[in-house]
Chain A
Amino acid sequence: MDIIVCVKKIPDPEIPPAKFKLDMESKRVIPPEGIPPVINPYDEQAVELALRLKDKYGGKITVLTIDNDADTSIVKHALAMGADEGIVLADKAFEGSDSFSTSHILSQAIQKVGNFDLVLCGRQAADWDEGLVGAIIAENLSLPLVTLAEAVDVVDGKLKVKRVTLDGYQIFAVPTPAVATVSNEVGQPRLPSGWGIISASRKQIPIWKAGDLDADPSQIGAKAVRRRLVKLFIPVREKKCEIIEGETTAEASVKLAERLRKAGVI
C-alpha cells in the first residue's frame, strides 16, 4: 500500500507559553530563539500509522512538508523512523498561506507524487490547532475522508478505518484512494533506529517549487488568504487573594457573602 503523509514543522509544544512573544502588528507569534522546532506530534503519529501499515502490507511511504526555509529536518526525522521518500515544498510564493492555500499546495504535490492508496495527515497541528488541511485536501482531490483515525486495516481491498468518538469508536469501510486524519490514540510513535538515522542523513531531499507543482497562483500565498485574523493578543489573567476574617465561622461567612455580593459574583 502506497501512502503519502503530510507533516508540518511547529515550535516545540514543550516550550512554556510565557516564552512566546506576540507581534501585534503583523499578528504573528514569535517563538523563543534557540529551541529547535519539531515535527507536529499528530503528524508524527500519522507517520507511525503509515509505518504500521507498511510493516503489515508493504508499499512505499512518501512524506510531504511545506517549509519556506527548505529545512529538511522533520522530513529526515520521518525518514529516520522508516519512511521511504521525503519532499520539501519551498517557494517564496507559498509564504502567508492559510489552510486553504496550504491544502491547495499539498493537493498539487500529492497529485504530482501520483500513485497512492492513502493520504494521512495529523488530526491538527499543535500550533494553531485548526485541523482543516486534511479535510480540504480530501475535498480538493474528491476523495473519501475519515477524521480522527486511530487504526487502519485492509479488508477485501477496502480500507477499514477505526475512528475515535467521544465515548467509543466507529468503523468505516472506505475505497482507496482515501484521506484520513490521524488522532493521538494511535499511541507512541517509534524511535528512529541507528541505521534509520544514518540512511536518512544521507538522503538528498528534493525541493519542489511552485512551478514544479502546477499550482494555481491565485490559490497560494498571502494574497489567496480567505480569512483575516482580526486581533491577536495575550489575555490578561489577574489573580487576587483576600482573606476574610471573623470571630466566629458564622461571622466570617456573612462577611464573605457580603464581599462576594459587592464583587458582583453572587
Chain B
Amino acid sequence: MKQRFDAIVVGAGPAGCTCGYSLAKAGLETLIVERGKFAGAKNMWGGAFYGPTLFQLFPRFWEEAPIERYIHRHRFSLLTQDSSLSAEFTTKKFGEPPYNGFSVLRAKFDHWFASKAEQAGAIIATGLQAEDLLWDRNTVAGIKAGGDELPASVVIACDGVNSDLTDKAGLRGKLLPRDIKQGVKEVIQIPRHLLEQRFNLSGEEGIAWEFIGSFTRGIPGGAFIYTNKESLSVGIVAQLSALCEKKIGANDLLENFKQHPSVAALLAGGNLVEYSAHLIPTSGKAMIPTLYSDGFLVAGDAASFVLATGLTLEGANFAIASGTAAAEAVIRAKQKRDFSRKSLSCYPELLKQSFVLKDLKTFKKASLFLENSRIYSQYPELACDLANKIFTNDGKPKKKIWKLLKNSMKDRVAFSEILRDLIQIKRAL
C-alpha cells in the first residue's frame, strides 16, 4: 500500500482541488490531504465568486455544482450612523449563462469540488494534517502527516493564508498584521419567500452588496451581504493591525454593521446558523512569498494571491488560476522527470502570463491607498450629508448643490485632500 506519490497537494480549497484535479487528470499519482473532516469543513470565504476560471475548468459547472444563486445585481452603499447612500448596477448578461458570479456555501461547494478531483483519480485524505515537510538534503521529498512519512516528487502547498508549509520551506517571512485583513462572517437563515421579497429577487437571482462607512470606526475595511437560497452571508473585513491598535474585535464591527437601521431591516427575524472567521492576505504583490523551490510550489492564499481594490476582494479566482498554473508546472516537470527548482521555474512564468500576477502588478499600490481612513469615515459622511441636504425639504429657500457640497465639506475634508486622494486613486486603482 505504501508508495511514492508524484504529487501531494496540501489543502482541499479551490487552489488545492483545482491543482489536484488537473494533476490527476493528466495521469499523475496525486494525493490531496485536508485537515478538515471533509473538504470544505474548515474553509471560508465571503460567499460570492466571479469570473470564468471555474467555467474554463468545468464548462456548465453551474448545472452540477451546489450553487446558491447567480449574482445578477451589484449594489454598493455608503453608510453613516443612521443614513445610507447606494448605487446599483445590473445588466441582462449577468442573468444569462455563463453568468458573471455566484453565491455559494463552502461546506457544500468545496465538497463538490473535491469530489471532482476524486473522480479524476486523485486520492483525497481528509482529517489528515500535514505536520511537516519531508526533506532529502535541500529538496522537499514529501510530507509528514498522521505520524507517517508520505514521500512524493513534489509538494504543492495550498494550505491557506497561515501556510505552515511555506514557512517550513523557508519561503516567506513573518506575516504582519498590516498585510492582513480579518474577515468575520455569519450565515443567517431567512425563509426563502421573505428573502426574495426583501431583496427583490426572483428565481435563482442573487445580489452582492458591499458597504463601507462609519461602522468600521475608521478602520480600513468594509462589509458585505450575499444572498444564498434561503440564507444571507453577512460579514465584515477589517485591517488586522488597525483592529489591534484600536483594541476593537472584528465581531464588534460586525455587530455595529448589523445594527445599522438599513441593515437590521434586512436581517430581521433571521436565524444565525453559522459563524466563521478568516484571515485574508491583502497587501497584494508586496507580500507574495518565494513561489517555488526544489520539489515545492505554493498556490492560492498561501501565496497571498488575493486582489484587494477597495470595491472588490478576490481570492478564489486567483486560487483556481494559480492551482491550474502549479499543476501545469508539475506536469511539465514530470515529463522531464525533474522536479528541481530550475525545472519548476516555469510556474511564475505561467502566472505572469495569466491574470494572477498581471492583476496583482496593476494594483500593487492599491493596498497602500486603501489604508487612507478618509475612505471609511469622512467620504461616506460627506456623501450622506450632501444627499441629506439635497433630499430634505424643510420649507426653507433651497441652495445650489455646489454651495451645499462646500458646506458639507466644512470640518470634514479639505479640497486639497480630495485632490490628493483623487491623484492617489488614479495611481492605485
A interface with B by C-beta (< 8 Å):
32-34, 36, 73, 77, 80, 191-199, 201-202
Contacts and interface: CB of A to CB of B under 8 A. Distances in A.
B12 to A, nearest CB: 12
A33 B38 CA distance: 15
B127 A192 contact: yes
A77 B37 CA distance: 10
B150 interface: yes
Nearest to A192: B146
Interface size class of B (residues with CB under 8 A): 20 to 34
Contacts of B274: 34
B150 to A, nearest CB: 6
A191 B147 CA distance: 10
Nearest to B147: A193
Nearest to B128: A197
Interface in B150-203: 150
Nearest to A32: B273
B393 to A, nearest CB: 49
Interface stretch (B118-126, B234-242, B338-346, B397-405): B118-126
A201 B127 CA distance: 11
Given A194-B145, A195-B146, A198-B1, 15 more contacts: A32-B273, A34-B107, A34-B273, A36-B37, A73-B38, A192-B146, A194-B128, A194-B149, A195-B2, A195-B148, A195-B150, A197-B125, A197-B126, A197-B127, A198-B128
Contacts of B145: 194
Contacts of A194: 125, 128, 144-150
Contacts of A202: 123
Contacts of B147: 191, 193-194
Given A194-B145, A194-B150, A201 B123 contact: yes
A36 B41 contact: yes
Nearest to A202: B123
Contacts of A77: 127
Contact of A199 (B1, B38, B41): B1
Nearest to A196: B146
Contacts of B125: 194, 197-198, 201
Given A33-B273, A34-B274, A36-B37, A201 B148 contact: no
Interface of B: 1-2, 31, 37-38, 41, 107, 123-128, 144-150, 273-274
Nearest to B148: A194
A196 B126 CA distance: 11
A85 B137 CA distance: 39
A192 B274 CA distance: 28
Given A195-B1, A199-B1, A36 B38 contact: yes
A63 to B, nearest CB: 17
A73 B1 CA distance: 20
B123 A191 contact: no
B150 A198 contact: yes
A202 B1 CA distance: 10
Task: Kindly list the 3 A-B residue pairs having the minimum CB-CB distance in the complex, ordered from nearest.
Answer: A194-B148, A194-B146, A194-B145
B273 A191 contact: no
Contacts of B2: 195
A32 B2 CA distance: 39
Contacts of B148: 193-195
Given A33-B273, A193-B147, A198 B37 contact: no
B289 to A, nearest CB: 26
Contacts of A197: 125-128, 146
8 contacts: A32-B273, A77-B127, A193-B147, A194-B146, A194-B148, A197-B126, A197-B127, A201-B125
A91 B124 CA distance: 27
Nearest to A200: B125
Max chain B Cβ within 10 angstroms of own Cβ: one of A34, A36, A197, A202: A197
A196 B147 CA distance: 10
A208 B361 CA distance: 57
Nearest to B3: A198
B146 A193 contact: yes
Contacts of B41: 36
Given A193-B147, A194-B145, A201 B126 contact: yes
A191 B146 contact: yes
A31 to B, nearest CB: 13
A194 B35 CA distance: 11
A176 B146 CA distance: 35
Nearest to B189: A33
A195 to B, nearest CB: 5
Contacts of A34: 107, 273-274
Nearest to A80: B127
A201 B12 CA distance: 15
Nearest to A73: B38
Contacts of B149: 194
A194 B5 CA distance: 13
Nearest to B1: A199
Contacts of A198: 1, 31, 123, 125, 128, 150
Contacts of A195: 1-2, 146, 148, 150
A16 to B, nearest CB: 13
A244 B150 CA distance: 68
Nearest to A36: B37
Contacts of A192: 127-128, 146
A193 B131 CA distance: 12
A3 B273 CA distance: 41
